[in-house]
Amino acid sequence: METTTTETQAGTRARLRAEIAAERRELADVLDGLTDEQWDAPTLCGGWRVREVAGHMSMGFRYSFGRTALELARARGNLHRMTDRLARRDATALTPHELAAALRDNAHHPWTPPVGGLTSALGHDVIHGLDITVPLGLGRRIPEERLRILLGTVTPRTLRFFGADLAGTVLRATDLDWSYGTGSRAVRRPAQELLLLAYGRTLHRPE
């Protein structure tokens, strides 16, 4: 019996939902293990501590569409201003336990970003998780399946959206069979570090 396109798409969606749920639970476990000092540590998101990033990650679960629209209006349509204000407010209003629980309790929440669907939801969780764990030196490794899904989304449009200037640069993973780009400059690093570069993060580490 042939597999239909609809069945294939349903299987892909189910796989993505499973990876999203697993990522949220794993990150909740990481957050639950942090000290007070670590909760106040800086992240790869400029100006945000772990508290703000954790608050931002669960914003889509805790704010209805109507409330989000109202908050955006208050920010005069500036999405960055809105998310920054809400992240800082929630980081103060919610305890570390509540911030971690918001991820764990919403592991199967259907929220997705405005563009990109389930794949973007996975990317949102994975990248912001790395924003937290990399500066803390926790050594968390993203499972290969999730990495391959997100590496497959790296395109010129992705780079532009996240402000990643990689013109003339070839990204070559040292732990996976993956590369991206053309040019005379090659950056060779583990795949999850290259993913962060593609998402506009700066890694302070010698090449």
The 10s digit of each residue's pLDDT in 99-120 is: 999 999 999 999 999 888 999 9
Can you give the chain as a three-state secondary structure string? Answer: CCCCHHHHHHHHHHHHHHHHHHHHHHHHHHHHCCCHHHHCCECCCCCCEHHHHHHHHCHHHHCCHHHHHHHHHHCCCCHHHHHHHHHHHHHHHCCHHHHHHHHHCCCCCCCCCCCCHHHHHHHHHHHHHHHHHHHHCCCCCCCHHHHHHHHCCCCHHHHHHCCCCCCCEEEEECCCCCEECCCCEEEEECHHHHHHHHCCCCCCCCC
At residue 7, the pLDDT reads 65
Which CATH number fits the domain 5-140, given the four candidates 1.20.120, 3.30.70, 3.30.310, 1.10.3210?
1.20.120
Q: Is the pLDDT of residue 2 over 90?
A: no
**This prediction's pTM:** 0.92
What would the pLDDT profile of 139-194 be if each residue is shown by its tens digit?
A: 999 999 999 999 999 999 999 999 999 999 999 999 999 999 999 999 999 999 99
What would the pLDDT profile of 36-55 be if each residue is shown by its tens digit?
A: 999 999 999 999 999 999 99
Question: 204: pLDDT confidence band, cut at 50, 70 and 90?
Answer: low
CATH 1.20.120 segments of the chain: 5-140
